Amino acid sequence: MRVARVVGQVVSTAKPDSIAGRTILLLNDIDPADPDQVSTRTYAAVDLVGAGRGEVVLVATGGAARVESATAQAPVDAAAIGIVDSLVVGSDVTYEK
For the chain, the farthest-separated pair of C-alpha atoms sits apart, in whole angstroms, at: 46
For 55-95, write each residue's pLDDT tens digit. Answer: 999 999 987 877 777 777 778 899 999 999 999 999 999 99
Nearest-CA neighbor of 46 among 69, 28, 26? 26
Record the pTM.
0.88
Domain boundaries, the chain: 2-85
Q: Domain 2-85 adopts which CATH fold?
A: OB fold (Dihydrolipoamide Acetyltransferase, E2P) (2.40.50)
